[in-house]
Amino acid sequence: MSSGGEEGDYVPWIQQFCDLFGHDYFVPVAQEFIEDDFNLTGLSSQVPYYREALYTILDYQVDTIEDVTNGTSNSDKQDLPTKSLLSHSAELLYGLIHARYIISKPGLTAMASKFERNDFGCCPRYYCDGMHLIPCGSTDVPGQETVRLYCPCCNDIYLPSSSRYLNIDGSFFGTTFPGLLIKMFPEIENQCRIRINKVNQNELGLKLFGFRINESSISGPRMKWLRMHPKSIEQRHEFENCELSIPSEDEMDDEDDEDEDDDKTMASED
């Protein structure tokens, strides 16, 4: 059980994994992070051949059925994985560890520099003005959905433009990561604010002969609330309340009243 570090061209498993085609969203997870059992809590029940997968990631020699058949190992054949099963388990385990690593401090820093270098691509929306995207998953359960890209400027989620990312599991990035990255690096929010302020709200949306299409029209703008950002102090306060908790019924009533007022003022503006 030793790593083959003697050879000159030896590449660690983690480095090999990150260098694979389509794996450029991943950062190499620090060895110390994987060796700390606390960080791996609960993963043993999610990954088949967990021990063997973990040893593979850490570059220990692991016997497979093929090794026994070829006579290179004398281990008991019965409870050994096949080579392909072992590599699948190792990739699954690495992905799940990766999702935890990128919400730790060193992981966030590593992902932030990738974000800064624009490794995840730009938002395709014109008004986001090339805002850099953040990889995320729509679920933390593996095997459900592939990786998505979140734009902090328009708050929308996009599919990666290249098909090479279509078999990357979204849970390897997780649902927590984008929110935490933005909170950890306020500069990202700042970049979004600059872009949002640059756009004149009146210029947004489709027009016919210079007239804006009514919002209640079938062909009118959709999901406008997605592009709305709090402007006044009251609106920001309301937004923060909604973000962290479900408003109580009293508050909801108040908000309904305010909404009505808003509608009136908007109607009169138009």
CB atoms under 10 Å from CB of 160, counted, come to 19
Question: Which one of 47, 97, 99, 153 is in contact with Zn ion (CB under 5 A)?
Answer: 153
* Residue 120 C-beta: closest distance to Zn ion, Å: 12
Closest CB to Zn ion among residues 125, 229: 125
Residue 80, token pair as written in the block:
């050994």
Closest CB to Zn ion among residues 34, 149: 149
For residues 134 and 181, the answer to whether their CB atoms sit within 8 Å is yes
Count of residues in contact with Zn ion, rule CB under 5 A = 6
* Residue 27 C-beta: closest distance to Zn ion, Å: 23
For residues 108 and 184, the answer to whether their CB atoms sit within 8 Å is yes
Helix axes 177-184, 105-116, angle to 10 degrees: 80
Closest CB to Zn ion among residues 176, 191: 191
Closest CB to Zn ion among residues 218, 226: 226
Residue 132 DSSP one-character state: B
Closest CB to Zn ion among residues 52, 156: 156
For residues 152 and 78, the answer to whether their CB atoms sit within 8 Å is no
> What residues from 123 to 152 belong to the interface with Zn ion (CB under 5 A)?
123, 125, 128, 151
* Residue 86 C-beta: closest distance to Zn ion, Å: 40
Strand-pairing partners, residue 158, are 149
Residue labelled with tokens 């043993």 = 44
154: contact with Zn ion by CB under 5 A: yes
Residue labelled with tokens 């990738």 = 114
Closest CB to Zn ion among residues 147, 154: 154
For residues 89 and 50, the answer to whether their CB atoms sit within 8 Å is yes
* Residue 157 C-beta: closest distance to Zn ion, Å: 10
* Residue 178 C-beta: closest distance to Zn ion, Å: 13
> What residues from 95 to 124 belong to the interface with Zn ion (CB under 5 A)?
123
- The window from 63-71, 153-161, 178-186, 197-205 that contacts Zn ion (CB under 5 A) reads 153-161
d(CA 96, CA 58): 15
Q: At 121, phi and psi to the nearest 5?
A: 90, 175
Contact positions vs Zn ion (CB under 5 A): 123, 125, 128, 151, 153-154
